[in-house]
Amino acid sequence: EAVKIKNICCIGAGYVGGPTCAVIALKCPDITVKVVDLSKERIDQWNSNNLPIFEPGLDDIVKECRGRNLFFSTNIDAAIHEADLVFICVNTPTKSYGLGKSRAPDLKYIESAARRIADISTSNKIVVEKSTVPVKAAESIMEILNSNHKPGVQFQVLSNPEFLAEGTAINDLLNPDRVLIGGEETPEGRNAIESLSNIYSRWVARQKIVATNTWSSELSKLAANAFLAQRISSINSMSAICEATGADVAEVAHAIGLDSRIGPKFLVASVGFGGSCFQKDVLNLVYLSECLNLPQVAAYWNQVIEMNEYQKRRFVDNIVHALFNTVCDKKITIFGFAFKKDTADTRESPSITICKYLIDECAQISIYDPQVDPEQMLHLNTHTHKYTHTGIDIEKYIKIYKSPYEAAKKAHAIVICTEWDEFKTLDYERIYSSMCQPAHIFDGRQLLDHKYLIDIGFRVEAIGKNLSKSHTGKPFSSVEGPKAKRPKW
């Protein structure tokens, strides 16, 4: 029979664990939810008025539940001990060393969490993997638990991947498209699935709660992110064709999105996708395929990443080219450092790559972002990225500004990297008159009103759209010859 859950422990107080548990606590006032983390700093932030993550709607929920049935603590052992159900929400970054380096997920945090659970538990528990993990990770967790548990203690391991997107986490958690729960196909497994379903069913319709076997659940998470990333790489590949032909990628996206088999969402061409999940999960899928001896499948998915890198490279090449083939010592203003709007997260942000390429060209970078912590922008080298350079004194090349107007003063170009709403309503006439002439704007997000900017006097280039005709008066084909080759960096 399905156990009624009264105490939940969540290991890992990050982007996934924090918001997920806040919503569970909100919807289940009779369940005590303890979120624990190794990092005292993180837990202190969760217990303060300044939460460690910026997510619309999160503050109100935490305020309502914290101290009532939602607790944040570093006392991991006590929380595990009391729990009937333990969520594992630790990070699974791409491995930076050894076997599978730069591709395989690093499971050391998951393993150490599993070992802790086995050591501490004196009663039966349902252990739920929420972190995105490779297929068969639940099996490994089960093996670790079963080889280390105290006599008489039984575990069930479930896979319950989280599909929330940053910036909309609370809405995604309150109104999910589906909740996926994978478990063992045994009576005990089914009971465990039922226990967890009974939590979600307090606010999610039963038909949206999908039960599968564990492997399907684990693979579905990787597959969903890979399909989403692939859509962006697909539309970005079209954006390159649009720029070369005069088609407009927004029109193309709208036209194909009307086909109900394709659908309108997630077709916004951009400077490239970022975030902690897409690249990591696609690489993970590539690695998995290689390990399963499926090289064609691996090559297919790897192309999604290649296209994303190409898009960022192409964008910077266009900037350098438009600025008369040199950006050396020129002030270039980056608008937006977060990997998308409404988040302060910069993990794998395309801005980082753009800045690095521009720094390779000896540009002077000034950055404005409405949310990102300046410290985080300066520490580009701590971001994991395959183009990381050593020996560059980043602070010599980058200045951070609190005002977009100050950031743009005396700049040669503005580069839109994040689609923050506030960039749409800035006073561009004022900005224009403070810039070096000719003043350029490179819109990496299809965000601004290009015609308006051209009327002010800006030279505008946008992803997926050829605007040369409008600002030179000449037809596209006669504007210039083949693009000059960029110097090697």
Annotated binding site for NAD(+): 12-17, 37, 42, 90-94, 131-132, 166, 277-280, 347
For position 423 contacting ligand UDX by CB under 6 A, the verdict is: no
Q: Which is nearer to ligand UDX, 69 or 159 (CB)?
A: 159
For position 165 contacting ligand UDX by CB under 6 A, the verdict is: yes
Find which of ligand ADP, ligand UDX, none residue 268 binds, CB within 5 to 8 Å per kind: ligand UDX
Q: Is 277 annotated as catalytic?
A: yes
For position 420 contacting ligand UDX by CB under 6 A, the verdict is: no
For ligand UDX, the binding residue among 176, 189, 274, 336 (CB under 6 A) is 274
Contacts with ligand ADP by CB under 6 A lie at 11-17, 36-39, 42, 76, 89-91, 109, 112-113, 131, 276
For position 87 contacting ligand UDX by CB under 6 A, the verdict is: no
For position 228 contacting ligand UDX by CB under 6 A, the verdict is: yes
CA 56 – CA 289 distance, rounded (Å):
37
Find which of ligand ADP, ligand UDX, none residue 270 binds, CB within 5 to 8 Å per kind: ligand UDX
| Residue 113 CB partners (closer than 8 Å, separation 6+) | 11, 12, 88, 90
Find which of ligand ADP, ligand UDX, none residue 16 binds, CB within 5 to 8 Å per kind: ligand ADP
From the CB of 387, what's the least distance to ligand ADP, in Å?
A: 22
Interface with ligand UDX in residues 143-162 (CB under 6 A): 162
Tokens of 302: 């790897």
Look up tokens 């690095």; give the residue: 356
* Residues in contact with ligand UDX, shown as a per-residue x/- string from 330 to 369 under the rule CB under 6 A: ---------xx-----------------------------
Q: Which is nearer to ligand UDX, 75 or 175 (CB)?
A: 175
Residues annotated in a binding site: 12-17, 37, 42, 90-94, 131-132, 166, 277-280, 347
For position 166 contacting ligand UDX by CB under 6 A, the verdict is: yes
Find which of ligand UDX, ligand ADP, none residue 182 binds, CB within 5 to 8 Å per kind: none
Choices 32-40, 164-172, 328-336, 355-363; region in contact with ligand UDX by CB under 6 A: 164-172
Residue type present at position 347: R
Choices 88-96, 269-277, 426-434, 466-474; region in contact with ligand UDX by CB under 6 A: 269-277
In whole angstroms, how large is the CA radius of gyration of the chain?
24
For position 270 contacting ligand UDX by CB under 6 A, the verdict is: yes
Q: Given 277, 355, 362, 417, which residue is catalytic?
A: 277
Find which of ligand ADP, ligand UDX, none residue 131 binds, CB within 5 to 8 Å per kind: ligand ADP
For position 52 contacting ligand UDX by CB under 6 A, the verdict is: no
Q: Which is nearer to ligand UDX, 85 or 164 (CB)?
A: 164
- Closest chain position to ligand UDX (CB): 275
Q: Which is nearer to ligand ADP, 119 or 449 (CB)?
A: 119
Q: Which residues are catalytic?
A: 277
What is the binding site for ligand UDX (CB under 6 A)? 162-166, 225, 228, 232, 266-268, 270, 273-275, 277-278, 339-340
